[in-house]
Amino acid sequence: MARKRSPEELPKPQTNLRDFTAYYMRFQRTQRGLSGEALGRVIGAGKSQVSRIETGIDRLDAKQAALLDKAWNTGRLFSLLVWYAAVGHDPAWFAQYVELEQRSDMLRLYEANVIPGIFQTPEYADALLRSGIEADPDRLLADRLERQNLLLRTPPPHVTVILSQNALDWPIGTAEIMRAQLARLLEEAERVNVVVRVIPRSWATGAHAGLDGSFHLMSGDDFGEVAYTESPGAGRLVASPADVRSYGVRYERISAMALDEGASFQMIQRIMEETRCPSQHGESRAAAEHSRVPASRSAS
């Protein structure tokens, strides 16, 4: 029998709209004298999933909300709560993101500007965090490095990373820090559960779907698939199946523009070597890219 949660462990309605939805669903269920199993029959879920929704582990989705509204004649209250929770800013977004990241069986990451946090060296992460306006960069650094234990889990998640070339050659910290970071990235790319691919910054690549910004797709048996998109000081978790699919389509379009694993590995190696003399190699590479004639895309 599952342990009964204390009031302190249940979602707080004042925390965010998702927690309010979970709180209010539980309140309405108990007011009606319904068991979790009975509510599960209403929304097409098992008793265990109802429990996970009420305790904030899972989220009520749009289909379940519509069934609840119909059964309880709420005037679309739960559907509207789920919709506003999906489109609005959630003050607890990062804690929720980290929880889902750690529970994921598969991660698909697209990064437009920096190396993903789970692959960052301490020095690279420290340089990034201290370049911003964070009040406590030391705490954030410790939290970021702790998240990397995800890769040591048994079994580890499968991770596919697509990086813009900007993430590889934008100077962060010092040349030594960048070389060590790229070396770490190459080490991670050799793991059997990790795929790293690069989108080259070239005329042949041109405009692509990744120019809109970074995002992640996280999948797990106990929560399905969720998308996460980031912005300065905020972020948004997307759980609606239709919206998650749109991010999946975007990821596939970005993937189509990326180099294969072998060519990506070679590009990372080349950029890492060029950081030994950044000014000379950077100028020669920039000149070469400016003089390159746009290439047509192959149909294969």
CATH code assigned to 7-87: 1.10.260.40
- Note if the bond before 155 is cis, omega within 30 degrees: yes
pLDDT of 149-188, one tens digit each?
A: 999 999 999 999 999 999 999 999 999 999 999 999 999 9
Mean local confidence (pLDDT), 261-275: 95
- Pick from 275, 270, 288: which is nearest to 171 by CA? 275
pLDDT of 49-71, one tens digit each?
A: 999 899 887 888 889 999 999 99
| pLDDT surpasses 60 at 286 | no
Considering only 24-33, 208-217, 257-266, 284-293, which range has the smallest mean pLDDT? 284-293
User: b/e map of 135-160 (b: 16 or more CB within 10 Å)?
Assistant: eebeebbeebbeebebeeeeeebbbb
279: confidence class by pLDDT, cuts 50, 70, 90: low
Percent of the chain at pLDDT > 90 equals 63
The architecture of the domain spanning 93-291 is: 2-Layer Sandwich (3.30)
pLDDT of 184-221, one tens digit each?
A: 999 999 999 999 999 999 999 999 999 989 999 999 98
Helix, strand or coil for residue 224?
strand
pLDDT of 67-113, one tens digit each?
A: 999 999 999 999 988 887 766 656 667 777 888 899 999 999 999 99
Q: How far apart are CA 300 and CA 82, in angstroms?
A: 43
- Per-domain boundaries in the chain: 7-87, 93-291
Residue 121: left (phi > 0), alpha (psi -120 to 50), or beta?
Answer: beta
- pTM for the complete prediction? 0.70
